[in-house]
Chain A
Amino acid sequence: MSTAAHAEQDHAHGHAHHDEGFIKKYLWSTDHKMIAMQYLFTGMAMALIGGFTVYAFRMQLAFPGMSVPGYGRVTATDYNALVTTHGSVMIFWVAMPVLIAALGNYLIPLMIGCDDMVFPRLNRLSYQLFLISSIVLIASFYVPGGAFGGAWTSYPPLSAKAEYSLTGLGSSMWLLAVALEFAAFLLGGINFVTTVMNSRAPGMKMFDVPIVVWMIIIASILFMASVGPLIAGAVMLLFDQQIGTGFFDPAKGGDPVLWQHLFWFFGHPEVYVVLLPAMGIVAEIITVFSRKKLFAYKTVLYTAIGTGVLSFFVWAHHQFIAGIDPRMANVFSVTTLLISIPVAEMVFVYIGTLYGGSIRLTTPMLWALSFIAEFLLGGVTGIFLGASGSDIYFHDTYFVIAHFHYTFFPIAFIGSFAAITYWFPKMFGKMMNETWGKVHFWGTIISFNFIFIPLFFLGARGDHRRIYDYRHFPDLMKAGMQDMRILATLALLVLLAFQVVFLVNFFYSLFKGAKAPANPWEANTLEWQAPSPPPHGNFPQGLPNVYRGPYEYSHPDRQADWWPQTEPEPTKS
């Protein structure tokens, strides 16, 4: 490890043994768990913004022209800003901070048995940059012209000129926020990879590392490898906006398709950047609650790496009708269909793990199972869009939106709920209420399907997205189409209402929940050998030694159906 890393560690070492004030403890901490909490709570707050924006614009679509309770009348410019903010926030400020930053920070040191990240101050800087990026994004709502309205993909020429997007300053602030956010995650990613490479507990070999840690590492590497072109592209777009260059402006000899390439070269690996951690979370949960060894540890690992590699070869499937060279469309169709193989393999492995297990249907397990089912639907509908022939029809319809949400909702929300309900006892030392957890689960899952199944049908009927008021398009107001929009919107209201149940359960349990034992789920991995919640330094009894892999459940030679990684082999007499 480098000298800098040692210096960081020495610095952090000093904090372990004295009381800290509120600011030092909660706002300026270098403790990986506290930084994870900062990311988690910021991500949850941003999810409220993402939820509110979708509420406002879906109400406009279902009941055009009405004054939306709590928002007022949604103008066309508002609509653009709301849709853009919803997409950007949910992906960049909710899915990524919660799944990668919060869980990565929380779980990596605990699961590999060390006391903190190797670069604690870099870690703190990462969150601070992320916080600034969130503030810049929110502030863009209050500048002249309002928040950016050029969609979360920010395609030029719409995004490149204030006269087109009507949100001159908002566009630049959006770009700045995104760039800051990426810088934050670059710092986090470096930290994750270095920590796992250098600080594993004695005895923990590469194949003893829990799958979720592997997934976060692979995702971090994917992110770091793909984000460069987009940061460069963002600077070019900023120049186009602010100093009149023409990188993406055809009138000046630029090419708008170039932005699409730069964006999607990052944007498609990004899907796997958030998918893989969610897949890892599901692997941890289904092994614990089916009391079975993970069906094929190395297969999951290698398919995850394979998925990561392939994810760099599929980006142009977003651009089949953007005027790209049609010869490339053929190539990208094939690679896109290929990537479904490793992902399907992971799903098969999970089903194989469940098969014959002693399944405990706890709340986290319900979330994990629903992830597999719902994500499968998202994956299968992706085949229609990956094949360029059918995509020509489906492109820019609600079919795409439905497909996208059948992949991203399971990733960002089902995955996060699974993780939060599973690790809550460890994070806060309290148990969440199971009954209310299940009420929240069923309310969310049922309403989620009622939102997006109608959108598949709407899309198949040619319902174009990016329309503010369908009354101007009689072809899209034919029998039943508006009814389906209303159904989807009402289901959204139900889904949002059920999130109140989650928030109440979360905060009630946080303060008044039953005290959690160190290992309430009888799990093997190292974090459950630390106290709940773990103190600064994680393992007060001394850093653990590791004797076996993380998934030794229901071992035939043992009476107990779990076998912690830290428990030495019994001595034979």
Chain B
Amino acid sequence: MSDNAHAPAAPGAEPSNAHGHAAHDDKFYIRIWGILLVLLVVSVIGPELGIRVVTLITAFGIAIVKAYLVLKNFMHIGVEKKYVAYLLITMVALMVLMVGGVGPDVLRHDGHRWSNVAAKKTVEEGLKAGGGHDAHGGEHKAGEKPAEPAPAH
């Protein structure tokens, strides 16, 4: 099948650069491996110093650099079409989005069992600041309509 798939790319299709760069020699991969090894040593020594900022940079910062090198060179993203890289970056962005959205509910969950104490406290503070009725149901005067609860306006 697919004679046309073997044919030169259709006009408008992105030019493929996948084949031109496919073969790096062994030296290239050994060099990358060497760099990774050096980075590993730095990421082990860094946290040993006991300085918070240095620990963060050497632990997480270097991990990101190493991941980048592996993706680019060992997983060949460097020679793939550009949209593959864009797709990967999108995936990372989505991951950040998901963790960001889920975080407020599950990461700083100060309460026990089903009760999210931190969120409740924020609501109470918000109600006080907004001049709403207090969350514990203070007495309303007869005939006075209680204000609606705060969320979503």
Contacts and interface: CB of A to CB of B under 8 A. Distances in A.
B98 A229 contact: yes
A258 B5 contact: no
B49 interface: no
Nearest to A543: B4
A118 B87 CA distance: 20
B10 A203 contact: yes
Interface stretch (B24-32, B54-62, B63-71, B113-121): B113-121
Interface stretch (A34-42, A56-64, A327-335, A371-379): A327-335
A389 interface: yes
Contacts of B94: 225-226, 312
Contacts of A120: 1
- 5 smallest A-B Cβ distances: which pairs? A205-B12, A388-B152, A325-B104, A389-B152, A9-B2
Contact of B1 (A13, A258, A388): A13
Interface stretch (B13-21, B33-41, B139-147): B13-21
B54 to A, nearest CB: 32
A69 interface: no
Contact of A325 (B9, B10, B12, B105): B105
Contacts of B116: 323, 325
Contacts of A387: 152
6 contacts: A114-B4, A197-B81, A200-B12, A200-B13, A201-B4, A543-B3
Contacts of B9: 198
A221 B5 CA distance: 22
Nearest to A544: B4
A315 interface: yes
A225 B5 contact: no
A195 to B, nearest CB: 9
B5 A328 contact: no
A537 B3 CA distance: 10
B98 A1 contact: no
Contacts of A55: none
Given A205-B11, A389-B151, 15 more contacts: A198-B5, A201-B10, A202-B7, A208-B12, A225-B94, A261-B101, A262-B102, A265-B98, A312-B97, A327-B104, A329-B151, A330-B151, A333-B152, A389-B148, A389-B152
B153 A116 contact: no
Given A118-B2, A221-B87, A326-B119, A1 B16 contact: yes
Given A2-B18, A204-B12, A333-B152, A12 B101 contact: no
B11 A202 contact: yes
Contacts of A114: 2, 4-5
A329 B152 contact: yes
A19 to B, nearest CB: 17
Nearest to B153: A389
A198 B13 contact: yes
A257 B90 contact: no
A13 B101 contact: no
Interface residues of B, number: 40
Contact of B4 (A199, A205, A262): A199
Contacts of A135: none
Interface string A46-90: 000000000000000000000000000000000000000000000
B4 A328 contact: no
Contacts of A324: 104-105, 119
A115 B3 contact: yes
Contacts of A201: 4, 10
Interface in A88-132: 113-116, 118, 120
Nearest to A333: B152
A1 B105 contact: no
B150 interface: yes
B133 interface: no
A16 B1 contact: yes
Nearest to A120: B1
B126 to A, nearest CB: 8
A250 B1 CA distance: 55
Contact of B106 (A200, A261, A320): A261
B105 A9 contact: no
A436 interface: no
A457 interface: no
Contacts of A315: 101
Interface in A190-225: 197-206, 208, 221, 225
A9 B4 contact: no
A313 B97 contact: yes
Interface in A1-54: 1-2, 5-6, 9, 12-13, 15-16
B123 A326 contact: yes
B150 A326 contact: yes
B2 A115 contact: yes
B94 to A, nearest CB: 6
A486 to B, nearest CB: 35
Contacts of B150: 326
A371 B81 CA distance: 38
Contacts of A265: 98, 101-102
